[in-house]
Structure 1
């Protein structure tokens, strides 16, 4: 191991990634393909990753699809192009495999909104409640859960619980409010939220719709209630993708993280896809997850080449965290 690598690994906790120079002449896509074969590795990528990473992934999907792929893979190494909780989930499901994440700082505002110590106190105050947690939470929160869910299967999970059983739902309050309406269950909600899905501007959205009156507004259920009331279709990331493929409409305003537009455009190249506007004055005038975008092709290459950063979890966290995930997978 060269001194540069040793120093880079020492700085992982501070930087989150291997701070090494990459030769600009290197064909990173070709090199990553070679490394996949050499290391028997599989790349799992979320729809919110940058386009070039989506295109190089072996499997592309939302949280549920990627959790299932992580459970099914025969690869020795899982490279997760997503955020920290997703890589943790892959490690919990595959404790014997090496799980890599290009940038350890690729976190999640929703996961951060639910600190384990505070959530434990909340649970202890309601001992008769079953705890359902959205998979967008930390490994520690999963250890405190009875069952996890994703936005794709949340209704199915909730409806599998006896009607007389009180439920705590965490951490996303917006998704929780939507699920209360969908299922009729009066759940106790944790006050967490995703900054990406709360960033949409309802005023700008309505102005945009006036300019595109034929466009159908489609939204992720983590969005705030006023926006969901305007939507013609509400669904998980994969369900939104399926909707634009199957619906006869030709124009869609898409209210979720803008990364999904890349795959949508590939699936329906003849349709008009418009990102829902955010409150921020950013370059794309859309809502982007800064955490998701921390992963780059260079970081992906370096993490595969040097097999670092690696997700490390204790045996206790893996054992306790696996049960709610396995319960979810058995139901869905």
Structure 2
């Protein structure tokens, strides 16, 4: 049985076949973020985290990129591949984290710290990327900041929890962090994590660094409440690598619930449980099977980025891609 046969059995076979046929006809590559609906993940050619998908978008020979994710991800693909057609199945799929800082706010912040290096999480708009020195994702944020000379100030944006994780890991005192957050990850709090860890004492903890509970996870490890080797602060791609290597029978997962689908496929023998089962991003879930089919049939919704903004943002994204490794399931 081929991989396509296996995937076709997990979703409606006729829908799967039509999506793949339309993708072939349109010369399109289908990219799906790990937080997408399971059927969207299953039909995609590649599923992964932001860094993995950014690499694929840049390197694909396909003339069309269909990005099943949120709007800033499709913008990033267009920045990297300006001559390709980039579609997002629902243009309304935004991001609360990307909306937490504007280009004007970033310019004002830079004016307060002349000479500082601006590191923007890839979860930002094209306009913010155009004001950025180097982008990062959760899987290479530590490496990106570590690559900056120690005597240079760093402005890290927009996620305060990822920024705190990087600053704590590197003990970097001249790093300033913007007070933005993803509403879904921020809602996974320390009290929930502690309660779940107490109820499942033998479980490993996989915690995304955007989560509000990341500090609590490190406290649990430091206090001995949970053995330190069972607490892992990971990107979504890192979670998949850890799942494949784990000998645990149970893992508590602190991130958006769409990630459970890939984890269960990667290690079906492990019982993966969400720390917060309500941690579902409504923007990610806007990419429905019907929306994907409509996008392939009609060419909606096409993503455009101002060429000047794209040119200024491209260097920052390319520097990101050059550091670290891809994550995801491809």
With the length of structure 1 as denominator, give the TM-score of the two structures.
0.88
The 1:303–1:113 alpha-carbon spacing in structure 2 relative to 1, beyond 3 Å, is same
- In the alignment, what sits opposite 1:248? 247
Between stretches 67-76 and 114-123, larger displacement belongs to 114-123
- In the alignment, what sits opposite 1:32? 19
Asked if 1:317 corresponds to 2:304, the answer is no
Q: Determine if contact 2:193/2:217 at 8 Å carries over to the other structure.
A: no
One of 227, 233, 250 as aligned partner of 2:216: 227
One of 180, 193, 198 as aligned partner of 1:205: 193
Q: Determine if contact 1:28/1:298 at 8 Å carries over to the other structure.
A: no
Listed as ranges, the matches of 1:1-332 within 5 Å are 27-186=14-173, 187-224=175-212, 225-229=214-218, 230=220, 232-277=231-276, 285-332=277-324
Structure 1: how far apart are the matches of 2:200 and 2:134? 41
What SS is found at the alignment partner of 1:174? helix
Deviations 1:252-285 (A, max 9, x none): 10001110101111111111111002xxxxxxx3
Structure 1: how far apart are the matches of 2:24 and 2:285? 26
Count how many residue pairs are aligned between Structure 1 and Structure 2.
Answer: 301
Structure 2: how far apart are the matches of 1:262 and 1:244? 12
In the TM superposition, structure 1's runs of 4+ consecutive aligned residues that sit over 4 Å from their partners are none
Structure 2: how far apart are the matches of 1:272 and 1:26? 27
With the length of structure 2 as denominator, give the TM-score of the two structures.
0.88
Structure 2: how far apart are the matches of 1:237 and 1:96? 29
Residue 80 of structure 1, CA deviation: 0.1
Structure 1: how far apart are the matches of 2:136 and 2:215? 24
Residue 26 of structure 1, CA deviation: 9.7
Structure 2: how far apart are the matches of 1:171 and 1:69? 24
Structure 2: how far apart are the matches of 1:40 and 1:133? 32
What SS is found at the alignment partner of 2:191? helix
Residue 117 of structure 1, CA deviation: 1.4
Deviations 1:132-162 (A, max 9, x none): 1000111100000000011111111111111
Residue 244 of structure 1, CA deviation: 1.6
Residue 318 of structure 1, CA deviation: 1.0
Residue 206 of structure 1, CA deviation: 2.2
Residue segments in structure 1 that go unaligned for 5+ positions in a row? 1-24, 278-284
Structure 1: how far apart are the matches of 2:192 and 2:146? 36
